[in-house]
Amino acid sequence: MIDTVEELMKKVHLLEIKARRLSRESFSGEYHTSFKGQGLDFEDFREYQHGDEIRFIDWNVTARMNLPHIRTFKEERELTVVLAVDISGSGKYGSQHYSKRELAAEIAAVLAFSAKHNGDKVGLLLFTDDTELYLPPEKSTKHTLRIIREIIAAEPKSQATSVSKACDFLSKTLKRKSLIFMLSDFMDHDFHKKLGAMSQKHETVAIRIFDPLEEELPRAGKVNLSDPETGWQTVVNTNNSNVRMAYSKLNARRLEGLKKTFNKYKISNISAATNKDYLPALHRLFGK
C-alpha cells in the first residue's frame, strides 16, 4: 500500500495528528464513561454514614472501633483494549475517497488514542485467514504509533479472511477480560458461533467497514467483477434489473444474518462507510 518509507511516515504523522485531535476533542469523555474497568479495588475504611449500603460494613473493624465502619472501594479503571483489524484482500477496495483498509486504520487510530488518553493498555491483531501480526497491549505513545504504522503498512501474506480464527486466537491469548474492537467487512462464512463465544469472555464491539457499491450494484452496463481474496472473476450485466435485484437480496440476507448474530450475543456494533463521516456512528456507539 505504501511505496516509500517517507510516504509511510508522512501518512502515519498526518493520521496521528487527526486521531489525537479527534480522540481528545470528541471522544475522550465518552470513551471514559462508556467503557468501565474490570471491578473494584479495596481502598480504605471509614465510619458508616446514613445511606451507606449495609453489605459494605466490616464487622471486625466495627467491633474494634466500637462504631460501625464500612469498606470503601475505588473503581479499577484500567482496561486492556485490543484492536482486531481485518487486512484481507477485500479491504483494498474503495470506490470513494477511502479504501476500506484506510478507513479501518483511521477509526482504529482514534480508538487507540482514546484508550491511551484513558490510561488503558492497547494491543493490535492484524488478521486474514491467519494471524498476520499480534502486538500485546501496552500503554506508551511509541507503542500506539507503532499500531497505526503497522495497520497502514502491513503487507499480508494471505488475501483470504477467517474471522473464526481471529476469534479463536484472541480467546486463547487474552488471559484477562478485555475490550475487543473488531474492524472488518465481515465478508466471511461460519464465524458466528466463534464470534459469539469470544463475546462471552470479552467485551466485544463490532465495527463493520463497507463501501456503498458493495451494498447495491450501479446501473453501469457490463462490468468485470473480481474477488480480491480468491482472484475469481466474472462479467456481469448491471443493466439487467434481475441481476441487480438478486445481488441486493443476497447482500441483504448476509447483513440480516450478521445483525441476528450481533443481537443474539449482545455485541455492540456500528457500520462505517467509505463515503460518509464515521464520527456520528462512533458517537452512537459510545452513547449506547
Instruction: Give 47-100 pLDDT, tens digit per residue.
Output: 888 777 788 888 998 898 889 988 876 555 578 999 999 999 999 888 877 899
Average pLDDT, the chain: 86
Torsion 176-40-286-260 (CA) sign: positive
Amino acid 42: pLDDT: 61
**Do 165 and 126 meet the contact criterion of CB atoms below 8 Å apart?**
no
Tens digits of residue pLDDT in 163-175: 999 999 999 999 9
Minimal CA–CA distance to 80: which of 142, 138, 149? 138
The cell numbers describing 168, all together, are 479463536
Instruction: Specify which of 38-42, 121-125, 223-227, 283-287 reaches the highest per-range mean pLDDT.
Output: 121-125
CA 10 to chain centre: 24
- Please tell me the predicted confidence (pLDDT) of residue 283: 86
The reported pLDDT for the residue numbered 53 is 78
Domains of the chain: 5-34+78-287 (3.40.50.410), 39-76 (no CATH)
Q: What is the mean pLDDT of residues 2-10?
A: 65
pLDDT > 90 in the chain, percent: 46
With contact defined as beta carbons under 8 Å apart, do 79 and 118 qualify?
Answer: yes
Provide the pairing of β-strand 268-273 with 203-210.
parallel
> What was the pLDDT predicted at 1?
47
